[in-house]
Amino acid sequence: MKSLLKALKRCAVAGAAALAVLSLQPVSAAQAAPAPVVGGTRAAQGEFPFMVRLSMGCGGALYTQQIVLTAAHCVGRTGPNTSITATAGVVDLQSSSRITVRSTYVYRAPGYNGDGKDWALIKLAQPVNLPTLKIATTTQYNNGTFTVAGWGANREGGSQQRYLLKANVPFVSDAQCRSYSGYGGLIPSEEICAGYTAGGVDTCQGDSGGPMFRRDASNQWIQVGIVSWGIGCARANAPGVYAEVSTFAAQIASAAAGL
């Protein structure tokens, strides 16, 4: 199973896999997906100011103004790393107002081996003066309507996008998710599934590491998941799988404090 999951990661350089986002009610087979398709619709400038594009072909979010939270499968081992460029502050990656900052250090989740624990931190050379995205510390928000955003492909096998796209998708229970072909290796204590039974709305290759988020009780954005793996893009009966942020919240905070 481990080798299969590695083949299905959603990093642009890792190949075509698919991801989704959650909503409040379990999805029935008859439930139809809304109008947006793979990758969704274009985000407005400033709508998700915490979004970051990483040069290896992944996404991420500003955990602090100098630390990006992304997926473990997007990075190498823990240690100094100046090879990654983070682009932030824009929807259009070619905008002249984009902010680009080099990395200085990578921290990959301890024990990451391709299954679960799919989170990592990237320290930037200097702070970025943009809003950050707080993370969930309990499972309180592991439900409801979630949003994902990224510059990944807008169709399975497609190319990366110039403009940031967004989409919404509904929650899929662990039991339902594990019933689908290829999802028996889901780790319920570390991963969350989401997507429409009928497919049609999803993230895709190149969206790995990006945040899955929703509104909290104060109507502020809160990150609940990290784009991790899936099968295809927006296929029926093939939900996306996310790293469950709340499971690792204490570890993430501790690691960030030491960077």
User: Can 228 be counted among the known catalytic residues?
Assistant: no
Give dist(CA 228, CA 152) in Å, integer.
13
Q: Are 165 and 204 in contact (CB under 8 A)?
A: no
Q: Distances in Å between the alpha carbon of 151 and those of 41, 45, 72, 220?
A: 11, 14, 18, 23
User: Which listed residue (73, 103, 207, 246) is catalytic?
Assistant: 73
User: Which listed residue (23, 208, 228, 246) is catalytic?
Assistant: 208
Measured in degrees and rounded to the nearest 5, phi and psi for residue 87 equal: -110, 130
User: Which listed residue (103, 115, 118, 228) is catalytic?
Assistant: 118
User: Can 208 be counted among the known catalytic residues?
Assistant: yes
Give dist(CA 150, CA 213) in Å, integer.
12
Measured in degrees and rounded to the nearest 5, phi and psi for residue 191 equal: -135, 155
User: Can 73 be counted among the known catalytic residues?
Assistant: yes
State the sign of the Cα–Cα–Cα–Cα dihedral 7, 8, 9, 11.
positive
Catalytic amino acids? 73, 118, 208
